[in-house]
Chains A and B, each alone.
Chain A
Amino acid sequence: MDLQKSKQLYPFYVKELVPEIELLEQDRKKIVKKMTIIGLVLAALVIPFFFIVDEIGTMIFPVIIAAVIFGWILHYSSRDYASDFKDSVLQKIVAYIDPSLVYTPTMSISEGQFMQSGIFRKGIDEFDGDDYVEGKIGATKIEFSEIHAQYETRDSKGRTSHHTIFKGLFFIGDFNKHFSGDTYVLPDQAERLLGGLGGMLQGVSKKYGELVKLEDPVFEKEFVVYSEDQIEARYILSPALMERITKFKQKSGSRISMSFKGSKVYVAIPFAKNLFEPKIFSTILDFKPVKEFFDDFALTIDIVEDLNLNTRIWTKK
């Protein structure tokens, strides 16, 4: 995206977004008021317990129950507000970045597509996602959404706990070169921890195919590459693209993984925070969160430019 868009964001915010946000701000204040009352009521119900019981273990129980009730009510009463916010404000931000993009807050990349990437091999027990964006940037078709994929474990007492496989933004783009095999670009854990020995160990695992040793030392330090085809992996990962991927990794500040499969490029960008969700307990009539939403969308949409996917000088048009 051109720098102009980023610079013009503030005027756009003032002109286009503030009127929308002002309306939503009233809803938000109502929710805050309602939640304050509920919070006080719950506190009034819980506090007497502190005087009745004197064991800390039993004192915790009412607090937990109250917190769960509070969270549950908060979730349901802010649902409409969050969805209104997405439909108006986020919709406009996406359209501002590129008018051809379609934003569907409730949809997501499917579990099938996610598994198709081959980046994550663990069986998924719970798959959630929202904030789906789809469209065409220049010649390149893209789609992405927020994803949270988890697996379950059971301990000896039969209690289940959830573990995250991936949480963050998941991007699928049409790649600009033809290829037939699968190539994976994964964060380099072994080499960072173990140095040369780690490098040797990487070759042992054939889960993702053969290890591909590339000549860019900066790239090699950050990533480990596996492929079915040594030449094809290098055809995809040209020296220029390796540099671009390294830069993109720095820009995202995240341990990204990529795969090149079935003429597509998949990029997984992990995020700890829940993306594209409006705050309830602090004002949204503020440029900072808007800028943050814009940056998170732009980061993903700009993959097309950052990886130069619109360069169509090869047989794939």
Chain B
Amino acid sequence: MSAPVSSIREPLITGGKTYHQITEDICSPTEKTPSTAWVIAFIISVSLLAFYVFCVAWTIWVGIGSWDLNRTIGWGWDITNFVWWVGIGHAGTLISAILLLFRQKWRTGVNRAAEAMTIFAVMCAGQFPLIHMGRLWLGIFIFPYPNTRGPLWVNFNSPLLWDVFAISTYFTVSLLFWYTGLVPDFATVRDRAKGIRRKVYNFLSFGWTGSAKHWQRWESLSLILAGLATPLVLSVHTIVSFDFATSVIPGWHTTIFPPYFVAGAIFSGFAMVQTLMLMTRKVLKLEDYITLAHIESMNKVILATGTIVGVAYLTELFIAWYSGYIYEQYAFYNRVLGPYWWAYVGMMSCNVLSPQLFWSRKIRRSIWWTFVMSIFVNIGMWFERFVIIATTLARDYLPSSWSYYRPTWVEIGLFVGTLGLFFTLYLIFTRVAPVVAAAEIKSILKTAGDQYTGPNAEKHSHAEAQH
């Protein structure tokens, strides 16, 4: 039944697994009591989350004045964090949608966790525009609902409103896609469970039976959702970049922003997937499903997108010079050599120089290098957004309003706090849901398992798999 596989393809599932072992390996972490490492991580995350709640309450009580934003720099850490989180939230759907359309089998090992990460990252991102409003309870005004003020509609021509639609659509579609993939796996967990746990998982699995017709529709649905999510994922960061690109601020007003933001989003998203997956595979002992081949593939994506981002940075500088437009030229001169030069250096070294190390196969396949690099990329991409926002605003048209900006403890607390929110959600996810898409892993076992393909494949079983 399986398609012939090139024997030089590296196996994606190692350890000579059977279907039952796959179920065992993937479902058992949800059935055991949590490990000490998990408990410690959870306590830290929840503490950060509590601090986040405190900082939000502080912001709302005291007002946005508790951040050190000023008349010149109206967007500081908050929008930086927003764009950073949205960017991170791009890898999951990219892995599950675009790689599904491209029939990349290695996606099955990481798609579940990456999609979960996407959803949690978008949740974190969504916090910032809301808190930034200062009056959180008026957040509903951003939706066009019939109201008693006219009805007065929202401005459909504004990129900030496009953002509302893009991000809420992205969140909804990612959630549906992720959950539909989870349903068969929840059924697997249900059928291993007893008592109340069985009832809970039956509720979560929507009564899934595994009927042939259901599977057929499920596959069809996954494929179409992937087809829809592919342009969606590209549109979301494009629209986020419009927040800047449609303005008339030198340094923001550039047509290169959409592709550059999308590449940056994939870049930072994959870095975050690496950070999480390297820890997850170790703690949950999933090394047979998230192999070095997976890590290497993701590092290649990081290298490619990191290089695209680098080219975009250089293009910006070139175009600023070539345009002959002094305000644009000054914006970029200031970006590189102005008061925030250190952020530019951080961005360039973390995003452009450090991924180039991945040209070396040895480094691509080294877990420690990958982990360190993924942290670098996360930091670098945060700097990128900070550079775009703060350096540009700090030196605007009027020298009399030039200023400098430092975050207060509240802003730092909000950022660190969303990390707490993110990790709390992720840690809960690793406890309640199968972290690897078990059904999808089973469906590629005969073409990607190491007993069927790769150097250690048993000769007879390879022939058998080709019936």
Determine if chain A interacts with chain B: no
> Which A residues contact B (CB, under 8 angstroms)?
none
